[in-house]
Structure 1
Amino acid sequence: MDKITTGKIKKFFKGKGFAGALCLSVVAIGISTYLTYDSTLKTIADEEPQKPDSTVSAEQVDNTQSGIPKDETSKSEADSSAAPANNFVRSTAKRVMPIENEVIWEYSNGELVKSETLGVWKTHDGMDIAASVGTDVKAACTGKVKEIKDDPLWGICVVIDHGDGYETHYYGLDKSLEVKEGSNVESGQKIGVTGTIECESKLAPHLHFAVKQNGKWISPKEYING
């Protein structure tokens, strides 16, 4: 019986029966592999976190749910941090004209104007108030004398710091001043008298009065009336 069985087995492997069985085995293995691969892909897809819809704007996303901390800085705070801070508090002291008289040359607000004396085009950063030599000049507002200088073109110059971002400049004074650097002055207090201004000598005698706000020239009239 062993001989018969062995012979049949050898005949089976040599015949078409074996080839068919082998093909069926290969197909079965392929189907099994595909089903295992497909199952694995589905499992990975289920475990992968869902991407947010690209149509959802950044404002619609709730960061408390995504685990990302919210930026508490508001737009206004961001804008203010980009600009230089102005910590000055405007003085409540009265503002007055240093001389109550006609203005013979206005502030040019950055525009070039021709100087009759120098014959050149330049900005006129203050206003010229007509005043005969020896006219009293008053402080435009309460403050402290920051600087006194003798300029070859502008004559004696006094700068008063008002402590609120503003400075007033008085050019063309006589040397006989009634203040010195560091002196505290009140609105309307006399600081000296008018003298001469070499660089504007072709104009009638006057005081050159100018104002700076945070280091930039501004209109003296706006400062007085502000």
Structure 2
Amino acid sequence: MRIIPVLDIMGGRVVRGVMGERRGYRPIKTPLAGSADPVAVARGLAGLGDFSAFYVADLDAIEGRPPNAAALGALNEAFPKTAFWVDAGLETAAEAERLQRAPRQHAVMGTESIADAAVLAALPHPERAILSLDFKGEAFLGPPEILQDTTLWPDRVIVMTLARVGSGAGPDLDRLGAIVARAEGRAIYAAGGVRGPGDLEVLEQAGIAGALVSTALHNGRLSSEALRRFGR
């Protein structure tokens, strides 16, 4: 079970994501860092465990505003051995290729941002691409054919349940199970609702490769000891 800490960035600061309602997001307050500066928060998270990657959601870029390029650059400089899974509202294969020019940046292709399923077939470096199947409530956000046609999926797929982000409601196990059943061996990552070790155990038993986690790290429900256990 691979744990990927989440950094939601808006206006140059890490914000606390709650149920996908981005207008209400505010700078995070966490015992792991003295401010909401992305590097400070990432260092606080890194103190909990040896994470090989961070998931970075550039919420400004996703919503069509200027991207948080300076914050991402500072993260890359501060963590020279860490991979970054970056969701920056990428719409085209060319945009993905530009992001991938940084050697440790992996392009997250969020379906809420993709207008045409053909984009996935055109990705120049699929080994550093991750598909995010985005859901809000029962609705799939994006071209329906992406959800229907698994041949379009790269080797890593995130199931992003926005309504469960920061909600404390637990992972969407039914949806995750349905995706795993169709994934044909691809690595499936759960995003949204992980509350602690119990949820990770259930996800692991369900064949989930990893989980994107934020709140449970900041509130201490996922301790360093628990992270070491799942890291093994």
State whether TM-score is above 0.5: no
Q: Considering Cα pairs closer than 8 Å and 6+ residues apart, tell me whether 1 or 2 has the greater RCO.
A: 2
Q: For this structure pair, what is the TM-score category when the shorter chain's length is used for normalisation?
A: under 0.3
Alignment TM-score, normalising by the size of structure 1: 0.21
Alignment TM-score, normalising by the size of structure 2: 0.21
Please state which structure has a larger fraction of its residues in helix.
2
